[in-house]
Amino acid sequence: MKSLHWFLLLLIVAFTVLRIVEAQNQAGFISLDCGLVPTETTYVEKSTNITYKSDADYIDSGSVEKINDADKTLVQQPLWALRSFPEGQRNCYNFNLTANSKYLIRGTFLYGNYDGLNQSPSFDLHIGPSKWTSVKILGVTDRAIHELIHVLTQDRLQVCLVKTETTTPFISSLELRPLKNSTYTTQSGSLMLFNRVYCPSDSSSSVIRYDEDINDRIWDPFFDNDIVSISTDLQVDTSNIFDVPQAVMKTAAIPTNASEPWNLSWTLDNNTALSYVYMHFAEVQNLKANEIREFSITYNGGKIWYGLFRPPKLSIVTIYNQIPLSSSNGLFNFTFAMSVNSTLPPLINALEIYTVVDIQPLVTNKDDVSAMMNIKKTYGLSKKVSWQGDPCAPQFYLWEGVNCSYPNSGPSMIISLNLKESELNGTITSDISKLTQLKELDLSKNDLSGLIPAFFADMKLLTLINLSGNPKLNLTTVPDSLQQRVNSKTLTLILGEIQNPTPQKESKKVPMVAIAASVAGVFALLVILVIVFLVMRRKNAETTEAPGPLPSVTSGTVKNETKSSNLSIMTKDRRITYSEVLKMANSFERVLGKGGFGTVYHGNLDNAEVAVKMLSHSSTQGYKEFKAEVELLLRVHHRHLVGLVGYCDDGDNMALIYEYMANGDLKENMSGKRGGHVLTWQNRMQIAVEAAQGLEYLHIGCTPPMVHRDVKTTNILLNERSGAKLADFGLSRSFPLDGECHVSTVVAGTPGYLDPEYYRTNWLSEKSDVYSFGVVLLEIVTNQPVIDKTRERPHISEWVGFMLTKGDIKSIVDPKLMGDYDTNGAWKIVELALGCLNPSSNQRPTMAHVVMELNECVALENARRQGSEEMYSRGSGDFSRLSSASEFAPGAR
């Protein structure tokens, strides 16, 4: 009996130690009970065994509140307290973590009528400057849980609560869980949880999380009248990268009606959202020799998700998509159907659904952010309610007293800092010197002490320092290096009234007569200068009539542009007068076409045909675009770029004279407006490669490199032999020569062809042209409009992807070709086009690679025409690089 007693005692001790070890084995977990007091308190939550601590070290704003005592019995301890934010538009938690690490971030919200107002709070959650989601609390005792899987691009993470209505933002708990970087991968963006469920056998089952799930994911039980749960008591091999808990994988759901296909459906709130789906499978029944469980999975009208799948016995397989899914109405319907060989119905053990959220990194330079955080901490500036989150972004939440630069390329930098009357005390912190782009600094009317620091002299861009009104600051001793900058007038130093100044030598009194004489002399000089200016201006007006303002539209904003000397074209080698243009164009008798610039007329110059493009006075393009095109074409020459014969810049009359392209533009030829003939596949391949070569030359053959910015079929012109040349360079821009890969520019281009990344970030690169050229390639193959709202998928890229889910290239190739094309070349060019259209510019090919691939397409077509085409075609299931359905791969590990 004694031995049994000792055995039970040892068992209890072992179990206790095991629980303690498990409680401590939460490496990387950050579990914050928001509003927990005292702030040094920690505790282990009983049902999860997770150790929670106060959030006080991660935020310096907000007020601590508690839910009603009556509601505490209904929820776990981390929800008893909360932190509310009655002040400020944005309040942020700050975490110092490791860049490139993946985290599950979870916020939990329980209102509990803590303020006695019986409201339904509503507010937004942000990660840094980007919106994560909206939080809406419907009932007093309802809890809202929001999860995000996010890869940190920097070593700093900010989780912000943003006031959007009259109600007060609050949070009950905030949890961070490190994940393996190999799990939950996306093409771009972060993953917001839509649902995560498992299929328990017991209707009383509750959620599963830590410590059964080592990553502390929350698995909700799923019950439905159309399913029956099956389970096993045996261990399931869950050794793949997702670490799904045993308790989740030991149970599965099968349809009640085994003879009919089984449907799982859900609808996303956001119809435009992209999503990722993870299905976890394991056979949990002991099948007899004559029993087979085999099924296929399709979605949204027969798109293949996975075919003829047999779940392995007691071993996990995870099936998921590697590129995101979309649905025009937000509805997803997955169908599980038994194969003809199957004797058992389909099953599924667990399901995870996520939507993509585009989370941008901190906009402000990370060194500036660190400096500002240190300045805030040094001087205890938590009273500045706007000093939360990213200092510069969004601009609506710009920190009080801070001004920033917003370059189109690169991060924002802090250029001025005004801490006037901010109750600063102590010495001037050296963290200010880390604001390398600072131009103006105001520290006036504070209680600073000590010496003026010498590091001010090393801040080369600093032009103004105001230190007045600091009675304890030693203003009598200015560092020599700083005084030199003051003496050289590169820096203004305002000291105000100096306390205990060094005695100054008595200055000699200046006679009032001398002062008056000086003032009179200066006045006389100013009068003379004004007279000279007016005379010169009148003379210029008589010799050259100044043009009126030219309207220019950029990204929906109308502004007036006036020709000025700084915009004048530097070379006049090919300048033509307006009277010469009139003669050349035969008084504008024959119209070739019209565009945003103006009308294009036929002309003759020195017995050669030319095209004369006249700038209309009502044109949406201005003198800036006119000048850009002239200066570009005067210095670049390539056989696949339209040549500039000359230009007219004669008062209000502006014209560009090009070489004549007899067959018009590619769009006209594709549509049949040029005589009704159909461009052959060989013609199309040759046009594609020649246009690509012109674009390649702009990107890598020019010094500095150029980006066209408006690549489209109407800007690809054809000569009498259908040779292709790129045209219309009014929007083109140069790249800097210092290695930067972006140019600073306002978004411009043509809808449908416009790179979405460029549109979102204003960062223009050569990959923006690559995107537009990808659209052109799809037009060449399909002869479909770029945007057609009558199609189920309006944009041509979406439509092509949708049609190719059937795996048949014939469904998209221009029917006017009557099947006369190389099938392999068609697949190749479509794959290339979709590669050009990758949402991430880093994943797009270069134009050099595009030219190489297109040359192979030309070779394939030439070989076919010579009768040596390799006789094979791609099967209906072989479209692995084209459609989202293809990329769903089992991840058995």
- In whole angstroms, give the CA distance from residue 588 to residue 604: 11
Longest dimension (CA), the chain: 122
Contact of 387 with 377, CB cutoff 8 Å? no
Q: Is 613 annotated as a binding residue?
A: yes
What amino acid is encoded at 873 in this protein? S
- Helices and strands, counts by H and E, the chain: 15, 47
For residue 246, which of 233, 258, 261, 259 has the smallest C-alpha distance? 233
For residue 176, which of 208, 153, 148 has the smallest C-alpha distance? 148
- In whole angstroms, give the CA distance from residue 311 to residue 321: 18
What is the signed CA dihedral for 324, 329, 331, 334, rounded to 10 degrees? Answer: -60
In the Cβ-directed half-sphere of 840, how many Cα atoms lie within 13 Å? 8
Question: Can you name the residues that pair with 231 across neighbouring β-strands?
Answer: 251
For residue 142, which of 120, 122, 115, 160 has the smallest C-alpha distance? 120
What amino acid is encoded at 291 in this protein? E
Burial of 174 (0-12, 13-18, 19+ CB in 10 A): buried
Distances (CA, A) of 12 to 1, 23, 212: 17, 16, 20
For residue 269, which of 320, 193, 334, 324 has the smallest C-alpha distance? 193
The radius of gyration of the chain's CA atoms, rounded to the nearest angstrom, is: 35
Contact of 621 with 655, CB cutoff 8 Å? no
For residue 477, which of 458, 451, 450 has the smallest C-alpha distance? 451
For residue 353, which of 264, 286, 277, 452 has the smallest C-alpha distance? 277
Contacts of 291 (CB under 8 A, 6+ apart): 343, 344
For residue 310, which of 277, 278, 285 has the smallest C-alpha distance? 285
| 3-state secondary structure labels for all residues of 643-698 | CEEEEEEECCEEEEEEECCCCCEHHHHHHCCCCCCCCCHHHHHHHHHHHHHHHHHH
Contact of 213 with 219, CB cutoff 8 Å? yes
Handedness of CA 170, 175, 180, 184 (dihedral sign): negative
Q: Is 216 a catalytic residue?
A: no
> Residue 78 corresponds to which tokens in the numbers above?
């981390």
Q: Say which residue the tokens 């979870």 belong to.
A: 106
DSSP state of 169: P
Catalytic residue among 55, 368, 649, 710: 710
> Residue 627 corresponds to which tokens in the numbers above?
């000048």
DSSP state of 884: G
Residue 600 phi, psi dihedral angles, 5° rounding: -105, 125
DSSP state of 854: H
- In whole angstroms, give the CA distance from residue 734 to residue 621: 19
Handedness of CA 324, 326, 887, 766 (dihedral sign): negative
Burial of 93 (0-12, 13-18, 19+ CB in 10 A): buried
Mark the binding-site residues, compressed into ranges: 613
Mark the binding-site residues for ATP, compressed into ranges: 613
Show which residues are catalytic: 710
